[in-house]
């Protein structure tokens, strides 16, 4: 058992990206934030499935070439091997929860020059 407060961690890219509150042993749990105009490189996971739950704002998440517009209260489930790309073309910050399971130390495969 443990307790952690979000304020104890930092976003990967300063004001954006994932902020992992837990990495393993069975799953990852992160708060993810993107400012207007920011994105996160397209990638997929070989084993882990990923969920995003939108807490605030709105975002576009492309899964296997299809754009999904998500807003507060929406959840998207992404299966292993599904290529996904997140971008925020909207005028406000988006904040969401990300879960990844089952935990793998290294399971992300990035896609260069992703087109959709």
Question: How many Cα atoms sit within 13 Å of 96 on the Cβ side?
Answer: 28
State the Cα–Cα distance between residues 97 and 49, nearest whole angstrom. Answer: 14
Q: How many domains does the chain have?
A: 1
* CATH number for 81: 2.60.120.10
**pLDDT tens digits, 60-69:** 999 999 999 9
Q: Provide the domain limits for residue 24.
A: 16-104
Q: How far is the C-alpha of 97 from the C-alpha of 54, rounded, in Å?
A: 7
Kindly report, residue by residue over 29-77, the tens digit of the pLDDT. Answer: 999 999 999 999 999 999 999 999 999 999 999 999 999 999 999 999 9
4: in domain: no
Residue 94 burial (CB count, 10 A): 26
- The whole-model pTM stands at 0.95
């Amino acid at each position: 058992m443990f307790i952690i407060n979000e304020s104890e961690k930092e976003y990967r890219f300063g004001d954006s990206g994932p902020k992992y509150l837990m990495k393993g042993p069975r799953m990852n749990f992160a708060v993810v934030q993107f400012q207007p105009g920011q994105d996160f490189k397209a990638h997929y996971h070989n084993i882990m499935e990923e969920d995003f739950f939108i807490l605030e704002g709105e975002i576009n998440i492309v899964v296997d070439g299809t754009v999904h517009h998500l807003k507060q209260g929406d959840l998207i489930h992404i299966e292993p091997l599904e290529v996904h790309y997140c971008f925020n073309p909207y005028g406000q910050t988006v904040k969401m929860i990300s879960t990844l399971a089952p935990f793998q130390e290294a399971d992300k495969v990035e896609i260069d020059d992703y087109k959709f």
